[in-house]
Each structure stands twice: as C-alpha cells, then as structure tokens.
Amino acid sequence: MDQMINVVQPSLGERELAAVREVFASNWVGRGPRTAAFEEAFARHLGVGPEHVTATNSCSSATFVAADLLGVGPGDEVVLPTVSFVAAGNAIAGRGARPVFCDVDEATLNPTVADVEAVLTERTKAVIILHYGGRPGAVAEIAELCRDRGIRLVEDAALAIASTVDGRACGTFGDMGLWSFDHAKMVVTVDGGMLYVRDPELAAQASKIAYLGLEQRAAGSTGLFHSGYDQALRSPTRWWDYDVVSFTGRSTTNDVLSAIGLVQLSRLAEFVARRREVARAYDEGLSDVAGLRLPPPLPAGQTSSYFMYWVQFEDDIRDRVARDLLERGIYTTFRYPLMHQVAAYGSRAVLPRAEAAADRTLLLPIHQALSDADVDRVITEVRSCVAARPAPAAF
Ligand SMILES: *Cc1c(COP(=O)(O)O)cnc(C)c1O
C-alpha cells in the first residue's frame, strides 16, 4: 500500500535541532532568554507589545490562567460555541461556573453574532469563541457585541495563528487570546501555548498566575526569570524572598521548547503558503463532485491559517467515506465533538445546525509537508469513495 497520508503532521528538522543543541550548550534549559525572545517574537507577529503575552506549557493551561483572570465562579455563565475544545469547558465548569453552549453556522462551524447573542443573559460573564479551522468568522462583530454588553471575550486562537481580519490578528480582538504549539498544530514546540491579555495590569497578573502565584519581593525583580544568578546580580540582598498572590499551579514553559518555537515561528509564513496551495487544489479538484459541499470562500478582508480543510456530504455517507478512505491509507477525522452532547457539562441545549454539521463534516489531510502527489491522491480517492454506492443488501 502507498504510505499513509496523515490529517496533520509537524515539520521539525535540522534547524530546530540546532537551536535545541545551542540551549543545551548554554547550560540554561529552564525559562530564560529564549522564552523572553519567543514571547517578543510572538508579540511582534501579533502586532502587540511583549508585556501583553505570556508563554505557557500548553494552550489548555493558558485557558485555565485566562479563567482565573476572568474570575469566573459559581453563579456565572460563560458562553461558548458547542464546537469548542474541551479545555474551555473544563476551565469554566472546574471553577463552578456554568458553560452555556451556542449553535454554529452549518457551513463554517463558527458561531454567528446572532448565535452568541441568542444565549446571553444577565449572568453571562464571558464568551470564549474559537476560529474553526483557522477561519476568523464573525470575531469582529462578536467582539463589538461583547464590548457593548460589558462581557469579556476570550479567543481560543489555537487554529488561527496566522488568521487576520482587515490586517488585525485573530486572538487580539477580545480581552484575551490563546494559542497552542502542541504536536498537531502549525507552530510546534512539542507542547506549549501563549496567552495574550489586553489589559496591562491583568497581563502582569497572568505571568504570576502561570507560576504558582509567586511574586518576588526583591526590588528590580525579573519576575518569571528563573535564573537566580541573574536575579541576585540585580538585587544583591535576600533575593530569595517571595509572596504568593494566587493559589495556582505552574503553567510556564522552558528555553528548550522556546528555542524550537522561535525557529518554527520564522517558518510560519512558508507553512501557511503551502497550506493555501493545498486548500486551493482541493477547491479545484473537488468542486464538481455531486453531493459534496466545500468550505465557502473567505469573506473579503479575512485571511485564514488553513489549519483544517473540510468537506460536507449531502447524503448520510460521512462515516462510510471515512472508513473507505482509511482503508486506502488516507486518515481523516472530525473536530470537535459537540460539547453540549458531553454528559458531564449537563447541557440540555438542542443546537440543530451544529448537530447537522457534526454528522456531515469530514476533515481532509492538510499540512505543509503534503506533496502534490499526496494531494492528487486524496482528491482521486475522495472522488472515488463518494461515487461508490454501498452494495445492495443481499436477501
Ligand atoms: C489543540 C487545541 C487546544 C489545546 O491546546 P494544547 O496546547 O494541546 O493544550 C485548544 N483549543 C483548540 C481549538 C485546539 O485545537
């Protein structure tokens, strides 16, 4: 059989290894200068000041830091699209607040502003949206709605690292933004995340919450810089004293991972360009398949990270096509199982457009390492699997 084509895949190579080797040679592998440089580079990528961003050990842990900053708790509601990652639901429910799920657009799987507005109540403290597949969606309109109502907006921009609306980075429209650098994302540090916080005071809190709530007492403290030697030189008396400002865990990253992130971030534009080519090839190669719907064109002024490419089936054949493709060495999947149907969250919502989309949507392989031959093979096999009719039942 031909080699398996994966739905996502990292591109890590010699440059990343060389960067790791340099960190090893420096004898400082903890959080230090490379992490500061990664935060600065990421802030520049977003078009914000470095004091607004904090590198974390995952996007999920950044979500929990964001929930602490929001101060959500019992009696509060937090709205999120039912097509969301489980970290957001857990960060809300784990603090005793109630996650309230809204419906999404059937074609884009992003919530519309009306979907969000429909479930706001006087108890709504925050809204957490994501940009499905890397498409910005109605983020600008939803941010305006939240501002008008005095509700905080958090953007889970894990899939939208290079997505923009009118030149502005997704993740910076609301009060906070979150990114992931895990093994399956576009910029991969193996595990890692980033948190953007608009309010400067809250942003300063974020870095403390991310490190056990520690606040060093020494004057001129470098805060999260863990290099004790560096700290001691700055403040040569009792540099070891600290206070505790929150009872939180440790969500910080280290210079080994940040060094990988710096190299990966420098390659991002090239990754996005290749993914755009793959998406265009699917658009062209699959546009005439009967019974198959492709993602709608991007609205004017928006750019996508092309993190996901999906097709939707008019007939009830999604699961069969996925199985047939797997047999032919093409791995596909669906993200994200609907949160309002996860029993633990206790939702009784009925969200018909999301439910219809979740039964008909299939994510095709898209990543920067796909060759033209891989892309052609996916197109050929998808066409063939859709055309295949199940054998008539035997009597
Ligand atoms: C991957 C992902 C996360 C979680 O990221 P981790 O870094 O693995 O914790 C959060 N949200 C979305 C939309 C994701 O795809």
164 lines ligand 1 (CB under 6 A): no
- Which pLDDT does position 226 carry in this prediction? 54
Beta bridge partners of 179: 194
- Which pLDDT does position 102 carry in this prediction? 98
- Which pLDDT does position 395 carry in this prediction? 54
Class assignment of domain 14-265? Answer: alpha beta
- Whether residue 217 contacts residue 242, with contact meaning beta carbons closer than 8 Å, is answered with yes
- Which pLDDT does position 173 carry in this prediction? 98
- Which pLDDT does position 157 carry in this prediction? 98
Entry pTM: 0.94
87 lines ligand 1 (CB under 6 A): yes
Residue-range domain boundaries for the chain: 14-265, 269-387
- Which pLDDT does position 265 carry in this prediction? 98
- Kindly report the number of other CB atoms within 10 A of residue 300's CB atom: 6
Substitution candidate for ligand 1 out of 129, 131, 180 with most atoms within 8 A of CB: 180
- Nearest 5°: CA angle at 278, between 108 and 376? 115
- Which pLDDT does position 342 carry in this prediction? 97
- Whether residue 20 contacts residue 26, with contact meaning beta carbons closer than 8 Å, is answered with no
382 lines ligand 1 (CB under 6 A): no
210: exposed, middle or buried (C-beta count within 10 Å: 0-12, 13-18, 19+)? buried
Strand pairing class (77-81; 124-130): parallel
Q: Measured in angstroms, how far is the CA atom of residue 290 from the centroid of ligand 1?
A: 34
- Which pLDDT does position 267 carry in this prediction? 98
Q: Which residue's alpha carbon is at the smallest distance from atom 6 of ligand 1?
A: 59
- How many Cα atoms within 13 Å fall on the side-chain side of residue 177? 27
Q: Which residue's alpha carbon is at the smallest distance from atom 14 of ligand 1?
A: 158
85 lines ligand 1 (CB under 6 A): yes
Strand pairing class (152-156; 124-130): parallel
The CATH classification number of 269-387 equals 3.90.1150.10
CA 166 to chain centre: 20
- Kindly report the number of other CB atoms within 10 A of residue 339's CB atom: 23
Residuewise pLDDT in 10s, the chain (395 residues): 578 999 999 999 999 999 999 999 998 999 999 999 999 999 999 999 999 999 999 999 999 999 999 999 999 999 999 999 999 999 999 999 999 999 999 999 999 999 999 999 999 999 999 999 999 999 999 999 999 999 999 999 999 999 999 999 999 999 999 999 999 999 999 999 999 999 999 999 999 999 999 988 776 555 545 556 666 777 778 888 899 999 999 999 999 999 999 999 999 999 999 999 999 999 999 999 999 999 999 999 999 999 999 999 999 999 999 999 999 999 999 999 999 999 999 999 999 999 999 999 999 999 999 999 999 999 999 999 999 866 555 55
* Identical topology for domains 14-265 and 269-387: no
> Identity (one letter) of the amino acid at 293?
R
